[in-house]
Amino acid sequence: MSEKVLMKGNEAIAESAIRSGCLCYFGYPITPQTELAAYMAKRMPKIGGVFLQAESEISAINMVYGVAGAGKRVMTSSSSPGVSLKQEGISYIAGADLPAVIVNVQRGGPGLGGIQPSQSDYFQATKGGGHGDYHLIVLTPSSVQEMADLTSLAFDLADKYRVPAMLLADGTMGQMMEPVLLPEPHDVTVEKSWAVCGTQMKREHNIINSLYLSPEVLEKTNFERYERYKQIEENEVRYESYLMDDAEYCIVAFGIAARVAKNAITAMRKEGIKVGLIRPITVWPFPVKPIREAADKVKGFVCVELSMGQMIDDVKLASECKKPVVLCNRAGGMIPSVDQIIETTKKMIEGGAR
Amino acid sequence: MTTQILIAGFGGQGILFTGKLLAYKALLEGKELSWLPSYGPEMRGGTASCSVTISDEPVGSPIIDHPDVLIVMNLPSLDKYEDTVKPGGIIFVDSTLIERKVKRTDVQVFYIPSTKIAQDMGAGNLANIVLLGKVLKDCPAISRAYVEDALKKVVSAKHPEMYDFNLKAIDAGYNY
């Protein structure tokens, strides 16, 4: 029987990845996710795995591409500027239909930005990021426990659908420590008959590729991929609904913003304001249905984000603009406070906010 | 019950270590907790802070805007955080390094020359632990229970002799 240990979010991701059968990690250091790489550097050589600090993020993601093609579980991690560098490789991995896990412990941007927590890579993570029509499965942990759990889930979902998965965390989640129950060791459960790992003269060669010069063929790969995306949208939406049963107002927030929102909700409920929370755990696929249903019940939405307002677009689309949606945000590495959330919510209730 | 503790001082004073010790203590007590460091170019000389929330229920936000307990080890930290403490809260001050008194009248304040006490013990770098000893004594929400076991978890296995030093430092603060 395992017991709870105290770990940083970054370390929880690393240990959970190893327990999920990931024996290859490629990366390049960047704050605030460096503990993840450091943990891998320490552990991988002891368990027969591979830790490799590449010469750049671009190099690291292409190493991921290679190992994914060989059918092994593989991970890379970085923070915002580094994840931008990886986008070309991520597009290739998506185009080649390979499972891999990419971690983004976000920091403020744009450009080199800062090192404090942010959620301003939401568009990049959920709307493609690289070139071409594709999606990543994007999971947003809100505790150190979820850093571990969602890492494990990311590997499973990536394998199941042959789609790269991203863990979209932020500096706070990476740096904070909480008690965590680590997942039991497990490994790949699906047959990877497509992998390039030697034919042993028993089968035809497999080919891993994202180049299709015939547009008819390329279109077909896109259509097929989007059929899989449809299944993901139907089966893999995850979210937490918190005090929504009697809620008259709905806060939508993920990651650290959702944690702050819960404190604000506790305080507002004490004042008799009936407010609840929908916390997307997957931001692609986005929890459209619960938000659409909430739009019929509540009087308005408050979207709390560590960005200039990105997820708010998805909330407006999902709610079909039936009710007002207001933004409560900070940017550049700042975090909305409990007081700010309460103030924004009250303003909306009074009809003052637009 | 939820107790929000903010520890602040210079980088290098063991601010994060103090928080870690409290976090492990809470873990061993079977409580819910979160530990959030300030991070960045603050390793030595700059200001460092650490937010520890200990609760009987799952912890909401790990960020502390208004601490119940403030533990400060330098003047800039007292200047910055004094006004944020909840009315009725407690402030612990290292009075060797902070000469001024707390201005607030709606909080409880404990002064202890922890840096001097640590230096007199020949362990100047354990001022944080001396201060923590005082907290364990005088903060009703934080008891001394499990602190020895927590210490075993956070003291490096490479330096087991530090365990005894730390324990002495806790006692020095506790009995001050």
pLDDT value at position B65?
94
Listed residue (A195, A155, A200, A203) closest to A70, CA to CA: A195
Q: What top-level class would CATH report for the domain A5-235?
A: alpha beta
Contact A337/B at CB under 8 A: yes
Rounded CA-CA distance A346/B155 in Å is 47
List the CATH number of the domain containing B115.
3.40.920.10
Mutate to test the interface with A, among B16, B63, B152 (most CBs of A within 10 A): B63
The beta strands (E) that lie in A171-299 are given as: 177-180, 239-242, 249-252, 275-280, 282-284
Q: The tokens of A227 are what?
A: 């059929």
B63-92 in b/e form (b: 16+ CB < 10 A) is: bbbbbbbbbbbbeebbeebbeebeeebbbb
Token pair, residue A217, equals: 């063929």
pTM: 0.95
CA distance B110 to chain A (A): 28
Q: Contact B33/A178, CB-based, under 8 Å? A: yes
CA distance A114 to chain B (A): 10
Q: Which residues of B touch A339 (CB under 8 A)?
A: 65
**What residues does A242 pair with on adjacent strands?**
A277
Q: Is B124 on the interface with A (CB under 8 A)?
A: no
For residue B121, what pLDDT band results from cuts at 50, 70 and 90?
very high
Query: What DSSP state is assigned to residue A258?
Result: H
Using pLDDT thresholds of 50, 70 and 90, give the confidence band for residue B172. Answer: very high
Contact status of A175 with chain B (Cβ, < 8 Å):
yes
Q: Which of A6, A176, A259 sits opposite B27 (nearest CB)?
A: A6
Peptide bond into A32 cis (omega under 30): yes
What does the domain layout of chain A look like in residue ranges? 5-235, 240-349
Cβ-in-10-Å burial (0-12, 13-18, 19+) of A187 comes to exposed
Q: How confident is the model at residue A218 (pLDDT cuts 50, 70, 90)?
A: very high
Reply yes or no on whether the pLDDT at B44 is more than 90: no
Q: How far apart are CA B6 and CA B67, in angstroms?
A: 6
Q: Which of B61, B68, B151, B152 to mutate to test the interface with A (most CBs of A within 10 A)?
A: B61
Return the C-alpha torsion angle A241, A243, A248, A249, nearest 10: -60
The answer, for A171 touching chain B at a CB cutoff of 8 Å, is yes
Q: How many domains does chain B have?
A: 1
| Residue A78 neighbours by CB distance under 10 Å | 26
For residues A132-157, average pLDDT: 98
Which of the residues A177, A254, A270 would you substitute to probe the B interface, choosing the one with the greatest number of B C-beta atoms within 10 Å? A177
Q: What angle do CA B95, B98, B104 make, to 5 degrees?
A: 90
- Whether the per-residue pLDDT at A187 is higher than 50: the answer is yes
Phi, psi at A66, each rounded to 5°: -65, -50
pLDDT band at A186 (very low <50, low <70, confident <90, very high): confident
A172 and B59 within 8 Å at the Cβ level: the answer is no
A219 Cβ under 8 Å from any chain B Cβ: no
B106: closest CA of chain A, how far (Å): 21
Domain limits at B78?
2-174
B34 CB within 8 Å of a chain A CB: yes
Give the model's pLDDT for residue B11.
86
* Distances from the Cα of B158 to the Cα of A45, B18, B36, B128, B154, angstroms: 21, 19, 25, 21, 11
- Same fold yes or no, A5-235 and A240-349: yes
Q: Give the torsion through C-alpha atoms of A193, A65, A98, A122, to 10 deg.
A: 160
Per-residue model confidence (pLDDT) at position B43? 53
Q: Is B27 on the interface with A (CB under 8 A)?
A: yes
Q: How many CB pairs under 8 A join A and B?
A: 59
Q: Does residue A94 surpass a pLDDT of 90?
A: yes
Residue in chain A nearest B27 by alpha carbon: A179
CB contact under 8 A, A115 and B40: yes
**Residues A282, A28, A165, CA angle at the centre, nearest 5°?**
20
Do residue B40 and residue A335 have CB atoms under 8 angstroms apart?
no
Would you call B78 an interface residue with chain A, using a CB distance cutoff of 8 Å?
no
How do A282-284 and A137-139 pair as beta strands?
antiparallel
Tokens of A157: 């979902």
β-partners of residue A279 are A240
Burial of A166 (0-12, 13-18, 19+ CB in 10 A): buried
CB B6 within 8 A of CB B67: yes
* Residue showing tokens 């600090």: A53
Quick check: B36 contacting A, CB < 8 Å?
Answer: yes
Q: Does B61 touch chain A (CB under 8 A)?
A: yes
pLDDT of residue B39: 80
Q: Using one digit for the tens of pLDDT, what is the confidence trace for A219-270?
A: 999 999 999 999 999 999 999 999 999 999 999 999 999 999 999 999 999 9
* Rounded CA separation B64/B77 (Å): 14
**Residue among B66, B7, B58, B61 nearest B31 (CA):** B58
Chosen from A3, A4, A6 to mutate, greatest number of chain B CBs within 10 A: A6
Instruction: Output the six-digit token pair for B38.
Output: 């300030």
Q: What confidence score (pLDDT) does residue A1 get?
A: 45
Alpha-carbon gap: B134 to the closest alpha carbon of chain A (Å):
24
Which 146-165 residues of chain B touch chain A by CB within 8 A?
A: 153
* CATH 3.40.50.920 corresponds to the domain A240-349: yes
